[in-house]
Amino acid sequence: CAKNTQPTGTPPFEEEFPDLSKHNNHMAKVLSKEVYGKLRDKQTPSGYTLDDVIQTGVDNPGHPFIMTVGCVAGDEESYEVFKDLLDPVISDRHGGYKPTDKHKTDLNHENLKGGDDLDPNYVLSSRVRTGRSIKGFTLPPHNSRGERRIIERLSIEALNSLDGEFKGKYYPLKTMTDAEQEQLIADHFLFDKPVSPLLTCAGMARDWPDGRGIWHNENKTFLVWVNEEDHLRVISMQKGGNMREVFRRFCVGLQKIEEIFKKHDHGFMWNEHLGYILTCPSNLGTGLRGGVHVKLPKLSTHPKFEEILTRLRLQKRGTGGVDTASVGGVFDISNADRLGSSEVEQVQLVVDGVKLMVEMEKKLEKGESIDSMIPAQK
Amino acid sequence: MSFPNTTKAPRADFPDLRKHNNCMASALTPGIYARLRDKTTPNNWTLDQCIQTGVDNPGHPFIKTVGMVAGDEETYEVFAELFDPVIKDRHNGYDPRTMKHPTDLDITSGFFDERYVLSSRVRTGRSIRGLSLPPACTRSERREVERVVVTALAGLKGDLTGRYYSLGDMSEREQQQLIDEHFLFDKPVSPLLTAAGMARDWPDARGIWHNNEKNFLIWINEEDHTRVISMEKGGNMKRVFERFCRGLKQVERLIQERGWEFMWNERLGYILTCPSNLGTGLRAGVHIRLPLLSKDARFKKILDNLRLQKRGTGGVDTAATGDTFDISNLDRLGKSEVELVQLVIDGVNYLIECEKRLERGQDIKIPSPVPQFRK
């Protein structure tokens, strides 16, 4: 028998430390040998380890221009047990957010000012999304089939109890008919098995399509994804520029759903430091992305476009969503922040910022300068 | 309505395999799952980890994949209740509970007509005992495999003298050279492999070693700890296999000098990651031109009876280009290396005979099936 087998006891952590010399993501910037050594032997109560947290960042070195997060949480406790890694990552990603900072949650849609008059000649559609995690279960990188199925059952029960404008139906990915699938694709509601290695390397596509599905109301203005990248992704949307209405429906729907989960002692994961707990540290806080598809062919080619967006605390994406290009001068414009400001504050920034940019577009159409309109940093 | 924590019950976790077509899905019952679900190997590898790749990849109606992998040597014992029927299914009735696998690395014959045979190749895999397998290994274990093997290879002499190219440190020029020689392996993209966790930490501790003559090549930490390949142009299978056996024996001696050994037992032969490669882990084959025979309706049956399989010249799951095929042994377990290579030699010679007969306008016969395991 072999004499030189692995000795019992773990090898020194230097042997285990990943080679991050070619990496460009938040995890790689923060993970030193000291931090690795300190956290390497810890586990959350469900058995999630540091190596699990960072695997996606080790496997995906990143891009010189796009800074990905490079780590995920396997459960609520990950953010506590691995604070020495995740706090600096959070600070980096969320504009200097400190471990002692408190996050404000405000889902009172009446606190939003305006937002019902964005010009529909420019603003083609409005949308608000967020994510929610169900307390007491581990997250998509780590959860078992049994846990995922219970999350699905709980979600179906909660959603099926909604009525009025929220009355709707659940479509499990596993048993969807061809006709239902076609319709959901045509409505731009259907989500696919993740192919991005950022997600697959974190184990989020395991057992696909078991326990996954889509729920939407009859009006097709309120939609919930079950067990994709988070336990729940909640989306409110409609054509045109009435962001106020979209946000109202978002807040009301979310609160109704939360009440039902709370009745079963399985409320949403939330704490006063990190707000809503989600799989990716980039979505902590509100987890909210509120945005519009807006026609800005002139403004988008203006040399100050990027600067304007930065000052307005907004970001642009293509109309296919994250990592896509704009088509025909139409951009997806949404809030850049997630943590450290409330839902109302973030949607307010979108509403005010988009209104301003549409006015700028109109000025540029008339051949006028927009220099006096350039905003101060928000 | 309350939701007690029934997530811990095996029944709650049983995968939905109704749309699946792989060996694991055929063998796994709720009873087996319930009995094995809470067991772990000494390295903490679990049943769920074994089967994840088979759950995530339902398979193809025509191609039955295995659908599970081992994380370490002990996997095959701890989860024998599932692995044994899968092994029996995949290896044509070989019963690990009752049968023994023969190992034999000393051949005597084998030279092919080079008007037909363009190249000859033999490959196998070897695992280093005491270190976890690619689905399960930590970065430090993987680096240890690299160290152990590269150190041993540095001790090879004569026609086996060579050098190591680490995937992470390779220069552009070296990379291009290795691609041109068809030696370079890429990060796996097949979901069969990625879902089993084999691409983690790429390219850390992965590399390629080859001798100066470029006919003996070793892949380190791809789908197995090592893949060992002997190849050359032309039809001298005897020399290819002789070099294969000699090289393997020398590498084994060199690692034993430092207190390491290969994973092997008499029930399953050489232990590798995928159950399909147990036994000899050996695929011996040729690239061969068979323009007339390949169009004959009896081609497939002839191959079946000779226990041979055809692949395209790009390897597994590729199509043939023109009339050139990759012909190799089907079996891995239950016959020794010598028996399998002899089978390829005899079989390929038979195919060449058929091709020649068809050239002369003569008829050909389907041979009787080669017998299965020795009693």
Name the closest residue on chain B to residue A4, using Cα atoms: B259
Query: Which of B12, B141, B259 lies nearest to residue A149, judging by beta carbons?
Result: B12
Concatenated DSSP letters for B103-158? -----------TTTEEEEEEEEEE-BTTS--TTT--HHHHHHHHHHHHHHHTT--G
Residue B342: φ, ψ to 5°: -60, -40
Look at domain A17-94 and name its CATH class: mainly alpha
- Fill in the amino acid letter for B84: D
| Mean pLDDT in residue range A123-131 | 96
Tell me: is residue B283 an annotated ligand-binding position.
Answer: yes
Residue A239 pLDDT: 93
ipTM of the complex: 0.84
Task: Give the E-state strand segments of chain A in sequence order.
Answer: 123-132, 168-172, 213-217, 222-226, 232-239, 270-271, 275-276, 289-295, 314-317, 330-335
CA distance A345 to A364: 28
- pLDDT one digit per residue (tens) for chain B, 375 residues: 334 445 678 889 999 999 999 999 999 999 999 999 999 999 999 999 999 999 999 988 888 999 999 999 999 999 999 999 999 999 999 999 999 998 888 766 667 888 899 999 999 999 999 999 999 999 999 999 999 999 999 999 999 999 999 998 999 899 888 888 878 888 888 899 999 999 999 999 999 999 999 999 999 999 999 999 999 999 999 999 999 999 999 999 999 999 999 999 999 999 999 999 999 999 999 999 999 999 999 999 999 999 999 988 766 666 666 789 999 999 999 999 999 999 999 999 999 999 999 999 999 999 999 987 754
| Residue linked to tokens 């988009």 | A354
Fold of the B1-99 domain: Transferase Creatine Kinase; Chain A, domain 1 (1.10.135)
- The CB-side HSE value for B132 (13 A sphere, CA atoms) comes to 22
Q: Does domain A109-366 have CATH number 1.10.540.10?
A: no
Q: Which residues of B touch A145 (CB under 8 A)?
A: 12-15
Across the interface, do B55 and A146 touch by the CB < 8 Å criterion? no
Spatial CB neighbours of A271, under 8 Å, sequence gap ≥ 6: A277
CB burial class (10 A; 0-12, 13-18, 19+) of residue B292? Answer: middle
For B6-41, b where at least 16 C-beta lie within 10 A, e where not — what string? ebeebebbbbbbeebbbbbbebbeeebbeebbeeeb
- The CB-side HSE value for B354 (13 A sphere, CA atoms) comes to 25
Domain ranges of chain A: 17-94, 109-366
| Residue linked to tokens 């529909």 | A120
Alpha helix (H) ranges present in B273-321? 299-305
Q: In this complex, is the C-beta atom of A271 within 8 Å of any C-beta atom belonging to chain B?
A: no
Tell me: is residue A266 an annotated ligand-binding position.
Answer: no
Render pLDDT for A30-64 as a digit per residue (tens, 0 to 9). Answer: 999 999 999 999 999 999 999 999 999 999 998 88
Residue B176 pLDDT: 87
- Shortest alpha-carbon distance between residue A15 and chain B (Å): 5
Q: Are B327 and B350 in contact (CB under 8 A)?
A: no
Across the interface, do B260 and A2 touch by the CB < 8 Å criterion? yes
Q: Which residues of B touch A19 (CB under 8 A)?
A: 168, 204
What are B308's two structure tokens? 């041979």
DSSP 8-state code for residue A164: G
Across the interface, do B13 and A144 touch by the CB < 8 Å criterion? yes
pLDDT surpassing 70 at residue A202: yes
Closest CA to A331 of A343, A348, A345, A312: A312
Is the sign of the CA dihedral A30, A31, A34, A39 positive or negative?
Answer: positive
Query: Which of A6, A150, A205 lies nearest to residue B56, judging by beta carbons?
Result: A205
CA distance B329 to B334: 13
N residues, chain B: 375
Residue B89: φ, ψ to 5°: -65, -50
DSSP 8-state code for residue A49: B
Identify from B7, B142, B254 which residue to disrupt to test chain A contact, counting A C-beta atoms within 10 A and taking the largest count: B7
Q: In this complex, is the C-beta atom of A150 within 8 Å of any C-beta atom belonging to chain B?
A: yes
CA distance A78 to A68: 19
Q: Are B137 and B131 in contact (CB under 8 A)?
A: yes
Which has more pLDDT, A112 or B114?
A112
CA distance B239 to B231: 9
Residue B291: φ, ψ to 5°: -60, -40
- Shortest alpha-carbon distance between residue A246 and chain B (Å): 32
pLDDT surpassing 80 at residue A106: yes
CA distance B343 to B349: 10
Residue B62 pLDDT: 82
Q: Which residues of B touch A149 (CB under 8 A)?
A: 12
Q: Are B98 and B54 in contact (CB under 8 A)?
A: no
Residue A195 pLDDT: 86
Across the interface, do B2 and A11 touch by the CB < 8 Å criterion? no
Name the closest residue on chain B to residue A9, using Cα atoms: B43
Residue A205: φ, ψ to 5°: -100, 5
Across the interface, do B141 and A6 touch by the CB < 8 Å criterion? yes
Confidence of residue A84 (pLDDT cuts 50, 70, 90): very high
CA distance B66 to B87: 9
Preceding peptide of B203 cis, ω within 30°:
yes
pLDDT surpassing 50 at residue A201: yes
DSSP 8-state code for residue B44: -
Q: Are A286 and A346 in contact (CB under 8 A)?
A: yes
- Shortest alpha-carbon distance between residue B164 and chain A (Å): 19
Spatial CB neighbours of A295, under 8 Å, sequence gap ≥ 6: A121, A122, A124, A328, A329, A330, A361
Domain ranges of chain B: 1-99, 117-360
Residue A7 pLDDT: 44
Across the interface, do B168 and A19 touch by the CB < 8 Å criterion? yes
Number of A to B CB contacts under 8 A, please give it. Answer: 86
Identify from A1, A40, A59 which residue to disrupt to test chain B contact, counting B C-beta atoms within 10 A and taking the largest count: A59
Across the interface, do B130 and A4 touch by the CB < 8 Å criterion? yes
Residue B316 pLDDT: 67
| Residue linked to tokens 């506590």 | A80
What are B222's two structure tokens? 């791809």
Across the interface, do A150 and B7 touch by the CB < 8 Å criterion? yes
Residue B320 pLDDT: 65
Distances (CA, A) of A22 to A58, B173, B199: 10, 19, 17
Distances (CA, A) of A136 to A49, A144, A174, A232: 18, 13, 25, 14
Question: Which architecture characterizes domain B117-360 according to CATH?
Answer: 2-Layer Sandwich (3.30)
Q: What is the average pLDDT score of chain A? A: 93
The kind and range of the H/E element at B99 are none
Residue A319 pLDDT: 76
The kind and range of the H/E element at B359 are helix B337-359
Closest CA to B347 of B311, B304, B315, B294: B304
Residue A334 pLDDT: 97
Across the interface, do A19 and B129 touch by the CB < 8 Å criterion? no
pLDDT surpassing 50 at residue A3: no
| Whole-prediction pTM | 0.88
Q: Are A112 and A250 in contact (CB under 8 A)?
A: no
CA distance A116 to A164: 22
Query: Which of B130, B143, B168 lies nearest to residue A6, judging by beta carbons?
Result: B130
CB burial class (10 A; 0-12, 13-18, 19+) of residue B127? Answer: buried
Query: Which of A2, A18, A145 lies nearest to residue B259, judging by beta carbons?
Result: A2
| Mean pLDDT in residue range A182-207 | 89
